[in-house]
Amino acid sequence: MIYKPRYFTAEELLCPELLKLLPASAALGVIPNPILQDLDALRVAHGQPIQINGGGLHYCGVRPLDCAFGSSQSRHKLVVPGVVAFDLHSKRLDLLWDLINANHRTFGICRVEDRASTPTWIHAEFTTDLTIGELDIFKP
């Protein structure tokens, strides 16, 4: 059974091209249930909205392999099994950054892009791997 997130819709998590290809009932199935649950848990802990797609944003969630946005190895394109990247937006990005840094294991986040490279969002990579080590902060 596909977990239905409380705070995020398929339209917010997948790009428009993927939504056209998949029936609504199956769209969220491309994202592992534990990652959908971790997104909801992060939203609850943050205490305020987290936006991914919407409001003019279309490629901050899951993208097809042939998408021109991002590198060919982008975790947005599901190139690593059990790892999905989302670009997280919040009016209190500083608080969200601190929350992720202090509790990345709790939310299944294994990797984030360096804050200086993405000052208006947080590129966060969620994983189903339960043996998450230190948070990998990378520069593009």
Q: What is the CATH number of the domain that holds 127?
A: 3.30.1380
Q: Check: CB of residue 97 under 8 Å from CB of residue 82.
A: no
In a domain, 2, yes or no: no
Considering the entire predicted model, what is its pTM? 0.95
Domain of 115, in residue numbers? 10-138
CA–CA distance, 89 with 75 (Å, rounded to integer): 17
Domain presence at residue 46: yes
- Is 94 within the bounds of a domain? yes
Instruction: Give 50-101 as a DSSP string.
Output: -BSSBTTB-SSSB--TT-SSS-TT-GGGT-STTEEEEEEB-TTHHHHHHHHH
What phi, psi does 88 have (nearest 5°)?
A: -95, 130
Task: Count the domains in the chain.
Answer: 1
The length of the chain, given as a count of residues = 140
The tens digit of pLDDT for each residue in 5-61 reads: 999 999 999 999 999 999 878 899 999 999 999 999 999 999 999 999 999 999 999
Residue 4 counted as domain residue:
no
Amino acid 140: pLDDT: 85
- pLDDT at 19 (0 to 100): 95
CA torsion 37→42→45→51, rounded to 10°? -120
Lowest mean pLDDT among 47-51, 67-71, 72-76, 92-96: 67-71
Evaluate whether residue 5 is within a structural domain.
no
* Residue among 16, 6, 94, 4 nearest 54 (CA): 16
Q: Please write the tens of the pLDDT for every residue from 85-138.
A: 999 999 999 999 999 999 999 999 999 999 999 999 999 999 999 899 999 999
Cβ–Cβ < 8 Å for 74, 47: no
Task: Assess whether pLDDT exceeds 90 at residue 70.
Answer: no
